Structure 1
Amino acid sequence: MREDLLDPRAVLLHERAPDREAAIRRCGRALVEVGAVAEPYVAAMLERERSVSTYVGEGVAIPHGTNASKDDILRDALCFIRFPDGVDWDGEQVTVCVGIAAREGGHVPLLAALAEILLDPGRARTLREATEVAQVMKELTL
């Protein structure tokens, strides 16, 4: 995956969230904070989740906005948020959220690249257990 997609400031490894909505809001805020999206994108991420769960398995969710929110994306980017205590995701336990902001169909190759990484048990475990930003940067930008 391209290195410029993941700003180290958007890698947060010791977050807590009381529920799925708060976890998605935290992902959205991380993307806002690094200048990747405008504030309305956060609401679009919540709207997406209400229509289709972004849980993908193995304790990972990949929240992203709706097609209608593309104008709120300033640049393609990812955030990586780790919730060590887990978050209930409609009955599943999520410990990692990878938020995506991508314009013009860019989310499809991003999702494919993330799936490839997350389907590798060793790399997925490294990400779920990461305690250093450098570990995440290495795994997601190989």
Structure 2
Amino acid sequence: MAKEILSKENIQLGVEFSSKEEAIRYTGEILFRNGYVEKTYIEKMLEREELTSTFMGNALAIPHGTEDAREMVNETGLSVVTVPKGVDFGDGNEVQILIGIAGKGDEHLEILSQIAIICSEVENVEKLVAASTKEEILGLLREVN
């Protein structure tokens, strides 16, 4: 049976980071710990960030691996980390929610577009950041699952 794309185990609320690298590593670590990706995928997420920022606007970043990282993905999955105090993603971009993505094949493209639609509404992002339970996050992102 395939794993859920987003489960409670993949969500962490109210985390604090001192750097963008630390935030991305943490987001990738959740995917690794829960069996979605190989450990090396985390390095590919950092590599991807070097190429182009995964900051999407509206206090959202969507860290994911480079194109060649696909073979390191075991299952399509998401990790969600809220950072109410924000973490600096450079160029004055403050991130309060990170959604890590690991996609088998092209599955992540569909997920990305769904997240982009949900998070294009500032109030949705604010609700995600303010969520006090993992269930709230699941409810807000249920369209993705």
TM-score, normalisation: structure 1: 0.94
User: What's the counterpart of residue 97 of structure 1?
Assistant: 98
| Counterpart in the other structure of 2:138 | 137
Partner of 1:44: 44
- Between the aligned partners of 1:119 and 1:85, the Cα distance in structure 2 is 20
Match of 1:115 in 2: 116
Note if contact 1:70-1:104 (Cα within 8 Å) is conserved in structure 2: yes
Q: Which amino acid aligns with 1:79?
A: S
The size of the alignment, in residue pairs, is 140
- SS of the aligned residue for 1:71 comes to helix
Matching of residue 20 in structure 1 with residue 20 in structure 2: yes
Q: CA-to-partner distance for each residue in 1:48-96, whole Å, 9 max, x for gaps?
A: 0000100000100000001111111000000000112110001211010
CA contact (8 A) 1:7 1:34 kept: no
Q: Contact 1:24/1:46 (CA < 8 Å) preserved in 2?
A: yes
Provide the secondary structure at the position in 1 that maps to 2:23: helix
1:63 corresponds to: 63
Specify which structure has the higher proportion of strand: 1
Q: Which runs of 5+ in 2 are unaligned?
A: none
RMSD of equivalent CA atoms? 1.2
Give the secondary-structure state (helix, strand or coil) at the position aligned to 2:74: coil
Distance 2:109 2:123 in 1: 23
State the partner residue of 1:32. Answer: 32
AA paired with 1:102?
G
1:80 is aligned to 80
Aligned-partner residue type, residue 81 of structure 1:
V
Structure 1 residue runs of 4 or more that deviate by more than 4 Å after TM superposition? none
Residue 83 of structure 1 aligns to which amino acid in structure 2? V
Offset from partner CA, 1:11-60 (integer Å, 9 cap, x none): 00021111000000000101011110110000000000000100000100
SS in 1 for 2:8: strand
5+ residue gaps, structure 1: none
